[in-house]
Amino acid sequence: REPRVARLAYPLGGASRLRLMLDTADLTEWEKFLPLGFFHGITSNPVLMQRAGWPVSMDTVRKLYAKAFTYPGIQEILFQS
């Protein structure tokens, strides 16, 4: 099953500028897509964390959060609970 690669997000204020978000907790996918530089951020949730083999915990969220901002252009990360 292919991961969901992008999601649309709109900045506050209703501007129509498109921002692409990578929707996965799979670091293999991060390595594949984030270096391309066209993603504004990353989104994830407990189901995606489990699918990627991560325990669903605040420690995992902290690790993913720290890793996410090592990639160029990443300005936002959203973890749903």
Share the mean pLDDT of the chain: 86
- Answer whether residue 11 shows pLDDT above 80: no
Write down the pLDDT at residue 80.
92
Instruction: Report CA torsion sign: 31, 33, 37, 42.
Output: negative
* Nearest to 39, CA basis, from 22, 17, 27, 64: 22
* CA distance linking residue 59 with residue 46, whole number of Å: 13
Q: pLDDT-derived band of residue 15, with 50, 70 and 90 as boundaries?
A: low
* Tens of pLDDT, residues 21-53: 999 999 999 999 999 988 999 999 999 999 999
> At 48, is the secondary structure helix, strand, or coil?
helix
What number of residues does the chain have?
A: 81
Task: Find out whether 11 and 19 touch, Cβ atoms under 8 Å.
Answer: yes
